[in-house]
Structure 1
Amino acid sequence: MPEDMQKKKLSFSIRMLETVERAGNRLPDPAILFVGLLLAIWLLSWLLSYIPFDVIDPRTEAPLIIHNQLSGAAITEFLSVMVTNFSHFHPVGVVLVAMMGIGVAEHTGFINSALRALLSVTSKRFLTPMVICAGIISHSAVDAGYVLVIPLGGVIFYAAGRHPLTGIAAAFAGVSGGFSANFLPSSLDPLLQGLSQAGARILDPDVVLNPLNNYFFTSASSILIVGLGWYVTEKIVEPRLQHIEYAGDSGGHTDMRALQPEEHNGLRAAGLIFLLSIAVLIATAWPSDSSWRDASGDLTSGSAPIMRSIVSLIFLMFVIPGCVYGIVAGTVKSAKDIIDGMTNAMHQMAYYLVIMFFIAQFVYAFGQSNLGVLLALQGGAALKALAMPSTITIIGVVLITAFINLFVGSSSAKWGVLAPIFVPMLMQLGISPDLTQAAYRIGDSSTNIITPLLPYFPLVVVYCQRYTKHAGIGTVVAMMLPYSVAFLVTWTLFLLLYAFVGLPLGVQASYIYP
């Protein structure tokens, strides 16, 4: 492609992004957004409470009534349960518990050393897939990928004689573009499951979803993202970057030193303890009379202690190896270091807690008003009247989510709004909450890497500027756009094929409702 045509294409991308950024900047902070939505729910419930609807509530088999949330009784009840709404909101507790365990593993250096070891033993031939894979694995540590894997990707590619921006692109694709793909359970699983369950209970109060209801699909998606990202990197992105000159900067303050003997010893000890813990779990769960099983001897039912302990097991999966690593490597001097790791993790969750407080109030008001049920029933009836295949409906969920993701980066904020609408509406069409959530996860991930509203997007621009001083938003977007399009299209088709074959979505998950 001639240079003048390349410049025109790049400037067009920049103009498109500037339009998106201006529109996104007009949106309020997510917390304020939910305050506005709460006020809108109150107003709508007041207006619609005077309108009779010819709709039967499936929960009571009686005509549906919209409850006015601005009535004196509703306001006093809302104030009396405000604290309980927040403290008992399912995503809050499970995410905080998981994050405390991950915080210990981060604070002791276990995750840092494990990722460095993973990247350092990779041959040049498999450098790209290993960087993407490291990005996917880093999801278990929430933000670790942004501050560790992405800059390391540039450094490692530079050391291998390849364009450093290619390494940054591949790492960014794995960390953020493949955000909902993971081989390991993470705090995102119970977070989304809790919001999906809250949405499903608008229609069916007895619905119980498993925190790992998408685990098999996200595990399989990891293989897809690694393979697809590998192809896009080496066939599309890297050839386009060859015309961009770069300086011989090793990446600023990025730590690429080899693992020290004490770090090697720590990783070996932590790995041994981790494998031993898995062996103990399997050995104690194997007997037919195991305490991990429910009364009927089932390990995978919702009432089985092992299923109700998923979040606790995630906590231990990071705390125990993290502590062992810290003791052996010398990064843990006293018990206070362990507590500091948990405390630091909680510091990072402060903003999350603020958002979840307002989401909890919104979900409560939305459920109490019956607006969610009305929207689900009317929307489901309209979709049924259109007689669209469920395949088209699922694609619609993916595309709507991908578009909203350009403006609202927070996964919990988006799903907090969309779950009470999408989940019960699609339940009316016979589509399970598990499948709806899987569709949401695809849209939520695919456009992360092309929106400047992603909190870490400016950081990626800075990483690029270490090697190319004139790099900007347009550079990063032009670099990441092929990944975004490829992930969105191929991942959606993969979900449809996955469902067509009938492979399990996750633990205790289904494709149809009821």
Structure 2
Amino acid sequence: MNETATPEAPVKLSWVQRFLNTIERVGNKLPDPAIIFLFALLIIWVFSWLLSGVEFSALDPRTSAPIIINNLLTGDALANFLSTMVTTFTGFAPLGVVLVAMMGVGVAEHSGFINTGIKLMLRRTPAFLLTPTIILVAIVSHTATDAGYVLVIPLAGVIYYAMGRHPLAGIAAAFAGVSGGFSANFVPSGIDPLLQSFTQSAAQIIQPSMAVNPLNNWFFTSASSLFIILIGWYITDKIIEPRLQKTDIDGDTDDLPRLDEISRTERRSFYIASTVMLLGIAALIWAAWSDDSPLRHEGQLAVFQAPMMQSIVPLIFLLFWIPGAVYGFVSGTFKSTKDMIDAMTKAMNGMSYYLVMVFFCALFVAAFAKSNLGALMAIEGAQLLKNMALPSGVTIVGIIFLTAFVNLFVGSASGKWALLAPIFVPMLMQLGISPDLTQAAYRVGDSSSNIITPLMPYFPLVVVYCQKYVKDTGVGTLIALMIPFSVAFLIGWTIFLLAYWSFGIPLGLQASYIYPAG
């Protein structure tokens, strides 16, 4: 019987897929991210010059004086720019974090330690639970400051590839958990007391004796973890991964693990190396256990001032470098110490493109801070919201959306809150809303838009991770991947907070919804 071939009917795309495809096309027509940062730097210079002579009535809460835009095109400013260019680059915080951590991870990766661990883990993890597991780990990584960016996100791509799924979906899911769900965590971290310090100072403008508990949002952020996992799971599996089906993997994936057999030597080497890692963790816990430990700050461990928190990146380096080296020498993948150094060198080779982007990113971030344009944007937006005198519930929504917008340009969570808290907290206290609820609203807005702004310092790094699998990944590709997460988090999380409030579920320790507390 003869069969006549019929042309395959074109797949009809939904409006969401068409919109995301448009975002990707337009975004990828933008210049290289390094050039985007260069253009942004030039724009900041021009606007600082145009607005430097304008008198603004808005008061800078940090100085109690009218906000002033600093002209970055004066002779002194340009001379300072040139003389500090090298230190601005080398002092850029994410640079050291990424390079130091990646050297340790590089040893663990190229020795085979990580690959064997992933294969063993995947044999025990049900396939349908992979996405929520990745997002959960990404959320918990907040406890170790920036560990999620340098560890969880790239490993998520490796894990998805090993499972035969699209690696960019894994990277997107982990990025959503690490950055989009930044304020969703059931494990207290250093960000809690950092934000609390600004909230308490702002509240004391109205009530000098006001005290705010550092864990005043802990119950809400814990409940938010479940929300972020469920929403992120649905978006990854139902929207992102189906959209990536026609995206070919054309990167260098020869050294990545697949679910093949694990040899006896690999198992033995992994268990020995893992034992070494666990002994190292046990030694660290023992060293930090006592209240007078040198790893603590005034007896506290989970504060930014504690040496323990400031040592997270070196600890990541050691906890992967040492087991990686042990695995390499036991398994035979490392024949000499030169092989170990070569593994670190390979890890740095993959960072060359990131170094170029970070150079321009560091210059832009420094100029934006010096100009005071970010402060002006945040303060004027807050004053506008205050002058609108909206009902308390609508004001909370306004705070969330304003924060999400400002976050597209000003990345630092603590930096934005230092500007916004002295306006929002006293304003809402006079409306009968507690500082605890105001801070919770800020955290929702601050997290939701992290994943769609190329100006976020770690955004270029995630682009580099994607390019390992899909060479022509650009800014538009990553933004298109992350927009569904960002929109869902912003709208859904806002509704979640309002519902949480309406049911009167406690926000955290010693927290309330109303001021003064009943």
Per the normalisation by structure 2, the TM-score is: 0.66
Q: What secondary structure is seen at the aligned counterpart in 1 of 2:376?
A: helix
SS of residue paired to 1:154 = coil
1:87 corresponding residue in structure 2:
90
Of 66-75 and 171-180, deviating more is 171-180
Give ranges in structure 2 of 5+ residues lacking alignment. 1-8, 139-147, 203-216, 246-252, 426-434, 455-461, 472-476, 510-518
* 2:75 counterpart of 1:104: no
Tell me: CA distance 1:128–1:360, structure 2 relative to 1, closer, same or farther (3 Å): same
State the Cα distance separating 1:503 from its structure 2 match: 4.4
What is the SS of the residue equivalent to 1:44?
helix
Cα offset, 1:117, TM superposition: 0.5
Matched AA of 2:161: P
In structure 1, the partner of 2:141 is none
Distance 1:62 1:436 in 2: 24
Query: Within 5 A, what are the aligned runs for 1:260-339?
Result: 260-294=263-297, 296-339=298-341
**Corresponding position: 1:502 with 2:507:** yes
Task: Give the letter aligned to residue 366 of structure 1.
Answer: F
Q: RMSD in angstroms over aligned alpha carbons? A: 4.9
User: Once the two structures are superposed, what CA deviation does each residue of 1:237-281 show, in whole Å capped at 9, x if it has no partner?
Assistant: 89x99xx9xxxxxxx976321211111112211221222112111
The 2-side partners of 1:323 and 1:146 are apart by 22
Say if 2:452 and 2:482, in contact at 8 Å, map to a contact too.
no
Greater shift, 490-499 or 300-309, is seen at 490-499
Deviation of 1:287 (Å): 2.4
1:210 aligned residue: none
- Give the corresponding residue for 1:510: none
| One-letter amino acid matched to 2:23 | V
Shift of 1:23: 1.9
Distance in 2 (alpha carbons) for counterparts of 1:323 and 1:62: 56
Contact 1:442/1:492 (<8 A) preserved: no
How far has the Cα of 1:116 moved from its partner? 0.8
Q: TM-score, normalised by structure 1?
A: 0.66
Change in 2 beyond 3 A, CA 1:445/1:41: closer
For 1:217 and 1:353, locate their aligned partners in 2 and report how far apart those are by CA, in whole Å: 38
Shift of 1:175: 4.2
Which runs of 5 or more structure 1 residues have no equivalent in the other structure? Answer: 1-5, 156-166, 205-213, 245-251, 405-413, 463-473, 505-514
- 1:280 to 1:58, Cα distance in 2 relative to 1, 3 A: same
SS of 1:331's equivalent in the other structure is: coil
Cα contact 1:439–1:495 (8 A) shared by 2: no
Alignment of 1:33-48 (within 5 A): 33-48=36-51
CA distance in structure 1 between the aligned counterparts of 2:465 and 2:88, rounded to whole angstroms:
31
Given that 1:302 and 1:308 are in contact with CA atoms closer than 8 Å, whether structure 2 keeps it comes out as yes
Q: Is the 8 A contact 1:100 1:342 kept in 2?
A: yes
* Cα deviation, residue 67, structure 1: 2.1
Structure-1 residue corresponding to 2:57:
54
Taking the aligned partners of 1:100 and 1:381, their CA distance within structure 2 comes to 46
Aligned to 2:516: none
Deviation at 1:114, TM superposition (A): 0.9
Q: How much has 1:386 moved relative to structure 2?
A: 2.9
Conserved? CA contact 1:133–1:174, under 8 Å = no
Partner of 2:401: 396
Match of 2:515 in 1: none
1:400-411 equivalent positions in 2, closer than 5 A: none
State the partner residue of 2:144: none
Distance 1:131 1:340 in 2: 33
Pair 1:78 & 2:81 matched: yes
What is the total number of aligned residue pairs between the two structures? 428
Within a 5 Å distance, the mapping from 1:118-157 to structure 2 comes to 118-122=121-125, 126-130=126-130, 132-133=132-133, 137=137, 141=151, 144-145=154-155, 148-154=158-164
In 1, Cα distance between the equivalents of 2:88 and 2:69? Answer: 21
Deviation per residue, 1:143-175 (Å, 9 max, x gap): 6446532233237xxxxxxxxxxx889856644
Structure 2 residue 118 is the aligned partner of structure 1 residue 115 = yes
1:307 to 1:348, Cα distance in 2 relative to 1, 3 A: same
8 A contact 1:363–1:420 mirrored in 2 = no
Q: Which residue of 2 aligns with 1:379?
A: 381
Partner of 1:409: none
Amino acid at match of 1:82: M
CA distance in 1 between counterparts of 2:484 and 2:58 reads 46
Give CA-to-partner distance per residue, 1:48-104, whole Å, 9 cap, x none.
Answer: 122222233333333333222111111111111111111112222122212222222
Is it true that 1:20 corresponds to 2:20 in the alignment?
A: no
CA distance in 2, matches of 1:340, 1:400: 44
1:303/1:487 CA distance change after superposition, 3 Å: closer
Structure 1 distance, partners of 2:52, 2:482, is 48
Residue 259 in structure 1 maps to residue 254 in structure 2: no
Cα deviation, residue 300, structure 1: 3.3
Give the distance between the partners of 1:382 and 1:358, measured in 2 at CA: 33
1:424 maps to amino acid: L
Residue in 1 that maps onto 2:34? 31
Structure 2 contact 161–258 (Cα < 8 Å) conserved: no
> Are the equivalent residues in 2 in contact too, given 1:102–1:318 (CA < 8 A)?
yes
Q: Among all aligned residue pairs of Structure 1 and Structure 2, give the percentage whose two residues are the same amino acid.
A: 41
Cα distance in structure 2, aligned partners of 1:287 and 1:341: 37
The 8 Å contact of residues 57 and 63 in structure 1, kept in 2 or not, is answered as yes
